[in-house]
Structure 1
């Protein structure tokens, strides 16, 4: 079972690292997932993430208060809005368009209901 948690943690950490350099790919959710999986099968990785000067406080705030940095809320909201605009401007199935039009604002409302860190 340890290998499964380590695989999830490694994959999430890799995607989080890509999110640092690729616009549109979020970093924080993947680092939260990596820390969560690391706590179950790779405690050293979890501790390293928690001690990271930039991302450690974000992970700790999420765990303790379910708080999200205001900058992350703005970035996520802007990316969701750009996704909605894109899906309506580019060829896409109508069902997908309407699903995202209903779903993404719900995600944004939930996100903005979290405390600021």
Structure 2
């Protein structure tokens, strides 16, 4: 199983890295997934992600507190609003817009109801 976890982690990290430059591709959730996969396959890669200057804090907050930073919440919801706006501008059919609005509303609500950091 270890090679499968390693492959899944590498794929998640690779797509997550692409998400840095491709708008609306969720980098942070993919890096959290990569860290979870690496925890089961490669302590070295897991430690690299865990201690990474950019990705590490979000991974640690999620793992330790199931928390999403206020900045990440704003960025996520902003990206969702932008994606929906683009869909409207592209003139997608009403059923597609309604479906997208429902999914984005549920996901946005879930993100916004996560803790913002360690319990006080």
Q: Same fold (TM over 0.5)?
A: yes
1:102 Cα offset (Å): 1.0
Matching of residues 91-102 of structure 1 within 5 Å: 91-102=91-102
Q: Is the 8 A contact 2:73 2:111 kept in 1?
A: yes
Matched residue SS, 2:30: helix
1:35 Cα offset (Å): 0.3
Deviates more, 1:64-73 or 1:92-101: 92-101
1:22 Cα offset (Å): 2.4
Task: Quote the Cα distance in structure 2 between the aligned partners of 1:75 and 1:58.
Answer: 13
1:59 Cα offset (Å): 0.6
Residue in structure 1 matched with residue 71 of structure 2 by the alignment: 71
Alignment RMSD (CA, Å):
1.5
- Aligned residues between the structures: 117
5+ residue gaps in structure 1? none
TM-score scaled by length of structure 2 = 0.87
Write the deviation string for residues 67-109 of structure 1: whole angstroms up to 9, x where unpaired.
1111111111111111112222224344322111111011111
Within the alignment, does 1:83 sit opposite 2:68 as a pair? no
5+ residue gaps in structure 2? none
Task: Quote the Cα distance in structure 2 between the aligned partners of 1:52 and 1:83.
Answer: 29
Q: Is the 8 A contact 2:12 2:31 kept in 1?
A: yes
Residue in structure 1 matched with residue 52 of structure 2 by the alignment: 52
Residue in structure 2 matched with residue 111 of structure 1 by the alignment: 111
